[in-house]
Structure 1
């Protein structure tokens, strides 16, 4: 049988023809992991610097994941028209612009400007994720797509850990005044304290912007696979609306909505949970609990991906989602140190869920794979919706009770995994 253009692209990539492009693509997982988890530090920092409620701090994640939601389809359309390089370069440039906006936002001490900067960063990440995730699933055998994407996404928790280390050491001051101390300060002292806390973000985000711009320049000069445009020239392209006629894809999108909401909510409020349930912990010690969560997440990603060589991805997803549900429920009902340890341990079992849901969701979509990918990326809006629900629950009940929200979300993911086990395995031929 004559080899198709896409088949030639995949073979060339496997032989190393696009080694530089694949290296940059894997680095993208690192870059957005760092951006996502710096938000968890920003929530703690902004709560202190702007004196916000838990619901108000959730605006950080709301605007961030709204950016993903709004720009996933434009990213998919750009990929269809211009290929992977255009999507990746556009995403990196937007990411850098958003990071640069942190400088004037901090100078003016305006929470709204910070939210705008985060929205711009997220719009760039929508382009990066819509490009990188389907690219990694396409390059090779369809039966190993979930495992291959998990290996590529192993760079994501490393980026997340880096983000927490940057935030802990260069943003969080470790200084937190109680209400009595603040009341005893003069107006000038209070303003000085709040301004110093806000301006702590300037230098880290300026450096991030420069690093991201360097990657954008590298992506411009490196050759990327152009299979997307080749497919467009040899076969009619179905309309984007065709994805809504794929029930399994819609189920995957809902599962991803629940997963991202659970992950973002758990990590966003880990510091808050630690401070509320173990009062002896200071701000930086609470951040260390978030750091421990991400280390476990990284370990889980590597070990879980290795297990996929022996265990069907859907089976592993089912087991990990059930355990995550149980640990979130313990965090909600037990509280104290036991609840905190359960909350931290849940990260190990969350590790393989995003890429596995993604890979299972785009199985068998053929020419709709990239459009389907953008729909699953749009589902990242769950990070805004469920985090807001957790913030509201915390304000009206307690931060521990708020952990019931991700517990329920993991039930939905387990249901999706169970459904995946009932589906036939993908063929070896790919799409």
Structure 2
């Protein structure tokens, strides 16, 4: 493994620490946007009288935006570069957040869903640009470590989201208008960040496996042709590392989103605590461990291969979901916390492993990987249906099956790379 000093340097000694720091700020912004949804889910159930299945559409519209916007986002990045993708994403994110101002007056559930869809489209552009970008900001052997480190700040956003949402939406003097406040603040912040990125320049980095001259030719060619030709697409889809990674990422996001969506429902039903306390547990307990896991994961991967870490974490997460199926009270909260710690490294690790099989098509591959985030639109609705028909505990069979499949994926990936040695 390379040393920390080499983590942000490429084979030619170029240092990308500053671009890494700038891009990493974006990870916080979309972490906040996702995590506050978990509070909105329960809030809409109580203030607008929607069912668990209907409230799950809060996640469905955001993650549905990933599916619809991923390819256009990839084309923007391929044609105009990473910075254009970042700015486009920030503008959509900011506009969607500010739509909560009229939304707070209308108090229309469909209008809130539309606003969240716009935010989801913006987040798609941000993730399509930022996730692959941090993997190439230095030595290629440090890709998994860099993306886990950057995703640690995403974890910080996951802490702040339910904290802010819980304090505002579940306060004693709660007003429906409070729902607009966090979105007004984040909308202004995001648009200010967009102005900063509009003023700075980010290095456009080609594939590390190419020479600088070849990379320049690729960039020039990409400006002329915004999509892969048939031969290139075929070579990408023949990579088992990429295609299996695509499925694993779909399952991971499905599991994570489903768990987050109904954490508050589960612990209030089974542990007898208030909504506000549940939101604080989600923020400092679950999301705190989530962030700690990503920081620790980046360090652990300097000593243990990423595929092995992924396999063991997926096994523990599967066991945690099995405990939740029993309807456990306090033990269920502990199981949640174990799961948050274990799932923390999964998204960035699966993403980086999948990109190993992308070769020179890293930008296009990233678009497809971001499309797989649509799993987050499906699992909450499915879990909501199970909960409405039976009980909340039974719905956690969905993330259990997802983590079990990820365990198999990690094991198979280890076997593939061990065979290559």
Could you state the TM-score of these two structures normalised by the residue count of structure 1? Answer: 0.88
> Is residue 209 of structure 1 aligned with residue 187 of structure 2?
yes
Aligned to 2:25: 27
SS at match of 1:154: helix
Contact 2:241 2:356 in 1 (8 A): no
Q: 1:131 aligns with which of 129, 132, 157?
A: 129
CA deviation profile, 1:224-278 (whole Å, cap 9, x unmatched): 1123583232689743743333332121111011101111111110100011112
Contact 1:364 1:426 in 2 (8 A): no
Aligned to 1:351: 344
CA RMSD of aligned residues (A): 2.1
Aligned to 1:324: 317
Structure 2: distance between partners of 1:293 and 1:219 = 32
Q: How does 1:247-266 map to 2 (within 5 A)?
A: 247-266=240-259
Shift in Å at residue 303 of structure 1?
1.3
Q: How does 1:280-429 map to 2 (within 5 A)?
A: 281-291=273-283, 292-424=285-417
Aligned to 1:140: 138
Contact 1:289 1:344 in 2 (8 A): no
Aligned to 1:179: none
CA deviation profile, 1:405-426 (whole Å, cap 9, x unmatched): 1011001111110121022379
Shift in Å at residue 210 of structure 1?
0.5
Structure 2: distance between partners of 1:89 and 1:13 = 28
SS at match of 1:362: helix
Contact 1:142 1:426 in 2 (8 A): no
CA deviation profile, 1:120-144 (whole Å, cap 9, x unmatched): 0010000000000110111222222
Contact 1:255 1:413 in 2 (8 A): yes
Aligned to 1:109: 107
Structure 2: distance between partners of 1:96 and 1:22 = 22
Structure 2: distance between partners of 1:208 and 1:416 = 37
Q: How does 1:6-85 map to 2 (within 5 A)?
A: 10=10, 14-16=14-16, 19=18, 21-85=19-83
Could you state the TM-score of these two structures normalised by the residue count of structure 2? Answer: 0.90
Shift in Å at residue 173 of structure 1?
2.2
Aligned to 1:224: 202
Unaligned runs of 5+ in 1: 1-8, 176-195
SS at match of 1:320: helix
Contact 1:49 1:197 in 2 (8 A): no
Structure 2: distance between partners of 1:95 and 1:259 = 23
